[in-house]
Amino acid sequence: MLARVYTHKNDLVDGFTKRYSVHLLVHYEVCESKEGALWREKSLKVWHRAWKIRLIEGTNPEWKDLDEELIC
């Protein structure tokens, strides 16, 4: 997970984060497997924006960058 955060924060992969300069990690989930993580990521992509905001604000109401939580 740390490698993925690093690559996105440093614009090493093309995609949404690089295109729109989005570098805050405001939500993450731990999954049992790669397949489970992929399924969850795909399911979240079809959510409405308001649902995603509620999900984030449910655990991170201040929208803090959570990448340091992963390092510690």
Averaged over 41-55, what is the pLDDT? 97
Calculate the alpha carbon distances from 69 to 16, 35, 46, 48 in Å.
Answer: 23, 24, 27, 27
Count CB-CB contacts under 10 A for residue 28.
Answer: 15
Answer yes or no: pTM beyond 0.85: no
Q: In which band, very low, low, confident or very high, does the pLDDT at 71 lie, cut at 50, 70 and 90?
A: confident
Q: What pLDDT, in 10s, does the model give residues 10-45?
A: 999 899 899 999 999 999 999 999 999 999 999 999
Provide the number of structural domains found in the chain: 1
- Helix, strand or coil for residue 57? helix
Contact 59, 29 (CB under 8 A): no
- Pull the structure tokens for residue 18: 């690089």
- Pull the structure tokens for residue 8: 């996105």
- Domain enclosing residue 53, as ranges: 2-71
